[in-house]
Structure 1
Amino acid sequence: MIRRFIINGKHISYYSYDDMAFIEDWINTLPRRILKYKNPEELFELHLD
């Protein structure tokens, strides 16, 4: 999933903190079939309560 944003062969230091934060947010808010179409962020919040 990360390869959608980070090109293979390009050093990770090329990307800014904001780029990494965007990628992290995108991954954590993407609904997953294995999670019954919930996203990891929702399930994490449920387990905190």
Structure 2
Amino acid sequence: MHHTQILATLVALSSAVLMVSLWKQLLTLVLVGIVLIFCFGLYNLATIMTH
């Protein structure tokens, strides 16, 4: 293996471990983001309807 291949393998393994350990937090952040965008859209729709 070349030096860059070893480095790429280590980076891929570490990112996979981080994703597995942090998937619940990431899922929560994505869900919160979706809810915030949805609420912001509803707010904009309500302001458009009232004017």
TM-score class normalised by the smaller sequence: 0.3 to 0.5
More helix by share: 2
Determine which structure has greater relative contact order: mean sequence separation of CA pairs < 8 Å that are 6+ residues apart, divided by chain length. Answer: 1
Q: Rg larger in 1 or in 2?
A: 2
TM-score by length of 1: 0.38
